[in-house]
Amino acid sequence: MQATFEARLATLGVTLPDAPAPAANYVPYVIAGDLVHVSGQVAMVDGKFITGKLGADMDVAAGAAAARACAISLLAQVKAACGGDLDRLVRVVKLTGFVNSTPDFGDQPRVINGASDFLVEALGDAGRHARSAVSAAALPFGVAVEIEGIFEIR
């Protein structure tokens, strides 16, 4: 019998938090057919923002940890969209990662690998996805990373 996604997360020591509430005038996700489009999730741990600017006061490893935190919030939103049943998730389709970075910083892909690597580790082949990783001059609340995603559900 195949382990559930939440059981796989538990083996990694991860319990999904409640899905974060929107910080402005938008919804956290939209379901269109069999796709869930999740709004950008900012880097947070235990309700506190992970702030910093890559290339100035934050290194790639810390940025990747922030991206991992974003991926956990993305999965929490997918779980909420699926009525609390994460096993309705079929696959991660696409991530778009924004990295708060200096103009000369070029390791955005390595930062967003923190999310990508985590999703593959937690979800197996269902976690493999298309992706963009781009620089941003600034992000809301001074966070280091923000990631939005598209997910296929059943």
Determine the Cα–Cα distance for residues 38 and 52; give it in Å rounded to an integer: 23
Tell me: pLDDT of 31 over 50: yes
According to the model, what pLDDT value does residue 23 have?
A: 86
pLDDT over 70 percentage in the chain: 98
d(CA 117, CA 151): 16
Structural domains in the chain, sorted by start: 25-153 (3.30.1330.40)
Euclidean distance between CA atoms 132 and 144, whole angstroms: 16
- Count other Cβ atoms within 10 Å, centred on residue 46: 6
Indicate if the pLDDT at residue 105 is higher than 70.
Answer: yes
Dihedral (Cα; 128, 96, 31, 10), 10-degree rounding:
50
Model confidence at 2: pLDDT above 90: no
Helix (H) / strand (E) containing 41: strand 35-42
The mean pLDDT of 98-127, rounded to a whole number, is 98
How far is residue 150's CA from residue 147's CA, in Å, rounded to a whole number? 10
Nearest to 127 by CA among 117, 113, 137: 117
Please compute the mean of the pLDDT values over residues 99-106 and round it to a whole number.
98
